[in-house]
Structure 1
Amino acid sequence: MSGIPRRALRAGGVVAAAALVLTGCLQNPNAGAGGGGGGAGGGFIVGGTAPNDKVVTILGAFGGDEEKNFNASLADFEKTTGIKIQYTSDQDFTTTIKQKVNSGDAPDIGLFPQPGGMLEFASQKKVWPIDTYLDYDKLQGTLLPGFLDAGRYKGRVYGAPMRNAVKSIVWYPKAAYEKAGYSTSPTSIQDLQKNVADKIAATGVTPWCIGWESAQATGWVGTDWVEELMLRMYGPTVYDDWTSHRIPFNDPRVVKALDEAAKFNKDPKMVLGGTKGVLNTAFADAMTPAFSNPPKCYLHRQGNFATTFYPKNVQADLDNQVGIYVFPKFEGGYDGQAILGGGDLAALFNGTDPDAQKVMQFLTSDKFGGPWAKAGGWLSPHKTFDTSNYPNETTKKIAEIANKASVLRFDGSDLMPKAVGSGTFWTEMVKWENGQSSQQTADNIEASWPKS
């Protein structure tokens, strides 16, 4: 999921429809049509405030410091354009946005933490395709490859990213790890296993720090492992077929990915505390034992948000306390470097308002986000963003990992129907961790997939 802390708080908050995701062609169907033209054509429903009123309303899910930094990133734009932006934070965004749009009280712009709900509105012509107001080709040229595909419905794209989340990171306690001489650039998952994890295990220490416990959302960490492996073993095309159910969940390739995930998550020699430790350790506490002296585990696969849960002394000296590298390729699998991630997608409800169009053009550009980036906790989805805005070398390196990726794909469970993505995929993974076979797990999830 794009924002994992929000995910843990909102179990069951994903609205997705598999039939809506990644269908049709994978190029701009109206090349050259964008750039702010818009107009009322195409039969799209107009929502939001009155056009040209110099007020643009935005509804999103992030609050607290994130809301403060978001508003700070819009301040200069507001001064320059004279447009007043009114942002409202709602932790139950998924429910609230549906209620507002369906009652005729849509905001001008919605910031979607998952693509599913936005694509549902796209199928109802309640959000506007980005080619009616953005320069699609320019945007495609600056964004991480594959990012726009998450907002695609029947060939057209209906949302553009304004924030990036990178999940495919391996974290380690820098001083102890490097003193022991373990590789900081494994070339494949097999290399990581043989020349790092096995060597750590040979010293009597379990290599992996993994925690799944997340109250009602327990299991999502396990789904991320399967998604990482599906993407690396078979590439983005098969991954898309899987998340959209063009292949069944119990396809032999999915079962094999589950078996590979078991090598990290279910082997008591590989993961701290064995299966009980995995299920009983809060996801936010998983890395904490790595900062013991000596470390009780060394390797943590988690997203860029993981640092917010690290001990305060580690956060205060991040560059010296932790090291990172990309979760590597799977030998014999997809040849490119894939990144599993997510982000917040901005979508336009008020497609005929020039003010709302201008806000969308800025919000989805590589010029947005400087103050937020400097404050920490935010990554631009653009390869062309000025990385000097990032507050430390660790964040800059994460951005570099993303920028060099061959392809980015959204968290798979965010693209699946709610009954699966935040339902059986989570719960069956818990059973899997408790000993259920990969085949049975895949069969059970496939049986739960909505029939329509």
Structure 2
Amino acid sequence: MRHTAARRIRIATSGAAVLGLALTATACGGGDSSGGGKKALSGQSVTVAGVWTGVEQENFKKVLAGFTEKTGAKVTFVSTGDNVSTVIGSKIEGGNAPDVVMVPQVGVLQQFAEKDWLVPLSKEIATDAGVNFAPVWKEYGTVDDTYYGLYFKASHKSTVWYNPEAFAQAGVEPAKSYDAMLKAGRTLSDSGVPAFSVAGEAGWPLTDWFENVYLSQAGPENYDKLAAHKIPWTDPTVVKALTTLGELFGDKDLVAGGGAGALRTDFPESVEQVFGPDPKAGMVYEGDFVGGLVKDQLKKKVGEDAKFFPFPAVDGGKPPVVSGGDAAVVLKAGKHQKAAMELVKYLASAEAAGIWAKAGGFISPNMSVHMGNYQDETTRATAQSLVDAGDSVRFDMSDQAPAAFGGTQGAGEWKLLQDFLRDPSDPEATARKLEAAAAKAYRK
């Protein structure tokens, strides 16, 4: 995310940000709802800003080209790079604000709303969202009872990816419980392959590990409270989750290279350690986007060379479904609000989501998207699982927190969980440090 975690992944899976890439698809021939052969927004333009670069940007451009073909509006995409909030703030101050921003973090969406930067989405969009999305997605796009953000792209961050050949050689199967997963991991280790490659170099994958354990073990009500800092990080549920996670982090048979090695492993490397030519681990936990790396960079077949199982239930809880996502918002400072609102309405449709689904590297929370649009069985399975989870989906907790706590390299939760990976012997001390950092960040 995310990074947000979803946002952070893009750093690993795409090239440098390219500013000002324009989609130049123009209206040509044919009529539409506007009648007279002229498309409804012909001659108008929309500027969209988002974090996407590389393949993701190219695929989103296909979606925007679909909007151009449908309406006649010219669309320009501008990549913000990773720091969306700072870049958009600067553009607003400079008088060149985009019309639509694809916001990759609940906390940033809330920040934009609190700064009075956003236009409430139209009643039509709200109606479409009510039909096409589980209510939880509308809730995550709402601030103080006002609907601002339409979630277009999502990630399923409760998937454990494994090397089928390593599993077959060790005689283990995908696990149904956390304890069974650790047991299978130790069997893998006995066969000569460490259980997990853990990406600890950045910190954000560690927050995802914690969130899945916590959601399953402590339950969604406590998850929501902790995400909003309505209970402290010293709460017994947090200490228990850290203790559970520490059982894995502290076992060198379970973590390739031990904690020290994991702290030198970035996200792409963690995937390569499992699915590369010389596997150094049997499993890697992260979201559905692991499949994109396996396919695009390692040139392996997802569903054959790389498979996944759902993150298993912890201590008898329900299997967790943690997600991230990108929400389309309309800026007050934008100069083309009518066309911008029409674009967001388009993004709420199954048609728009279907374009990217067919291109790959994408899943949608839109329940109306036909599963046949997804390229392969594995992507269909993750997309179906996300949709089936309905209101039990929980958004990435670190993406809901202030960036100073949940989204900053070398600080806050990222750093403290890295420290915990290095030495998980004192969960209570880690909980106290997390609470001190959270209390400071949430006060601002």
The TM-score range, normalised by the shorter chain, is 0.7 to 0.9
Report the secondary structure of 1:280's partner residue. Answer: coil
Q: Which residue among 305, 317, 325 is the counterpart of 1:343?
A: 325
Unaligned runs of 5+ in 2: 14-40
Aligned pairs for 1:413-432 within 5 A: 413-421=398-406, 422=408, 423-432=411-420
Structure-2 residue corresponding to 1:438 = 427
**Conserved? CA contact 2:276–2:298, under 8 Å:** no
245 and 338 in structure 1: CA distance in 2 versus 1, 3 angstrom threshold: same
Structure-2 residue corresponding to 1:171 = 161
Give the superposition deviation at 1:73.
1.6
Show structure 1 runs of 4+ deviating over 6 A.
Answer: none
More displaced stretch, 271-280 vs 51-60: 51-60
Structure-2 residue corresponding to 1:297 = 281
Give the superposition deviation at 1:178.
4.0
**Conserved? CA contact 1:307–1:315, under 8 Å:** no
Report the secondary structure of 1:304's partner residue. Answer: coil
Structure-1 residue corresponding to 2:394 = 409
Give the superposition deviation at 1:199.
3.0
C-alpha distance in 2 between matches for 1:78 and 1:313: 31
85 and 429 in structure 1: CA distance in 2 versus 1, 3 angstrom threshold: same
**Conserved? CA contact 1:374–1:389, under 8 Å:** yes
Structure-1 residue corresponding to 2:268 = 284
Q: Which residue among 367, 381, 397 is the counterpart of 1:383?
A: 367
Structure-1 residue corresponding to 2:307 = 323
Give the superposition deviation at 1:168.
0.8
Structure-1 residue corresponding to 2:16 = none
Deviations 1:61-94 (A, max 9, x none): 1123322221212223312222222222221432
Give the superposition deviation at 1:125.
2.9
The higher-RCO structure (CA 8 Å, 6+ apart) is 1
Q: Which residue among 62, 67, 90 is the counterpart of 1:72?
A: 62
**Conserved? CA contact 1:133–1:357, under 8 Å:** no
Which amino acid is the alignment partner of residue 3 of structure 1? Answer: R
Deviations 1:198-219 (A, max 9, x none): 4324435322221211xxxx22
365 and 420 in structure 1: CA distance in 2 versus 1, 3 angstrom threshold: same
Which amino acid is the alignment partner of residue 339 of structure 2? Answer: D
2:113 is the counterpart of 1:119: no
C-alpha distance in 2 between matches for 1:95 and 1:226: 28
Q: Tell me the number of residue pairs that the alignment of Structure 1 and Structure 2 aligns.
A: 403
C-alpha distance in 2 between matches for 1:123 and 1:87: 25
C-alpha distance in 2 between matches for 1:141 and 1:181: 45
70 and 293 in structure 1: CA distance in 2 versus 1, 3 angstrom threshold: closer
C-alpha distance in 2 between matches for 1:57 and 1:305: 27
2:100 is the counterpart of 1:109: yes
Report the secondary structure of 2:352's partner residue. Answer: coil
52 and 124 in structure 1: CA distance in 2 versus 1, 3 angstrom threshold: farther
| TM-score of the two chains, using structure 1 as the length reference | 0.81
C-alpha distance in 2 between matches for 1:144 and 1:330: 25
Structure-2 residue corresponding to 1:46 = none
C-alpha distance in 2 between matches for 1:427 and 1:94: 21
2:43 is the counterpart of 1:61: no
Which amino acid is the alignment partner of residue 180 of structure 2? Answer: D
Q: Which residue among 85, 88, 95 is the counterpart of 1:97?
A: 88
Structure-2 residue corresponding to 1:230 = 214
Q: Percent identity?
A: 30
75 and 124 in structure 1: CA distance in 2 versus 1, 3 angstrom threshold: same
C-alpha distance in 2 between matches for 1:111 and 1:294: 38
C-alpha distance in 2 between matches for 1:396 and 1:174: 19
316 and 291 in structure 1: CA distance in 2 versus 1, 3 angstrom threshold: closer
434 and 353 in structure 1: CA distance in 2 versus 1, 3 angstrom threshold: closer
**Conserved? CA contact 2:330–2:337, under 8 Å:** no
**Conserved? CA contact 1:208–1:264, under 8 Å:** no
Structure-1 residue corresponding to 2:17 = none
305 and 65 in structure 1: CA distance in 2 versus 1, 3 angstrom threshold: same
207 and 145 in structure 1: CA distance in 2 versus 1, 3 angstrom threshold: farther
77 and 339 in structure 1: CA distance in 2 versus 1, 3 angstrom threshold: same
- CA RMSD of the aligned region, Å? 2.7
Report the secondary structure of 1:287's partner residue. Answer: helix
Which amino acid is the alignment partner of residue 224 of structure 2? Answer: D
Which amino acid is the alignment partner of residue 5 of structure 1? Answer: I
Deviations 1:255-281 (A, max 9, x none): 111111112222112111111121122
Which amino acid is the alignment partner of residue 327 of structure 2? Answer: L
C-alpha distance in 2 between matches for 1:404 and 1:180: 32
Structure-2 residue corresponding to 1:26 = none
Give the superposition deviation at 1:311.
7.8
C-alpha distance in 1 between matches for 2:66 and 2:42: 19
246 and 105 in structure 1: CA distance in 2 versus 1, 3 angstrom threshold: same
2:288 is the counterpart of 1:307: no
Which amino acid is the alignment partner of residue 126 of structure 1? Answer: W
C-alpha distance in 2 between matches for 1:268 and 1:345: 39
4 and 229 in structure 1: CA distance in 2 versus 1, 3 angstrom threshold: same
Structure-2 residue corresponding to 1:187 = 176
C-alpha distance in 1 between matches for 2:170 and 2:134: 35
Structure-1 residue corresponding to 2:21 = none
Aligned pairs for 1:130-169 within 5 A: 130=121, 132-144=122-134, 146-169=136-159
2:7 is the counterpart of 1:3: yes
Which amino acid is the alignment partner of residue 360 of structure 1? Answer: V
| TM-score of the two chains, using structure 2 as the length reference | 0.83
Report the secondary structure of 1:379's partner residue. Answer: coil
C-alpha distance in 1 between matches for 2:339 and 2:273: 50
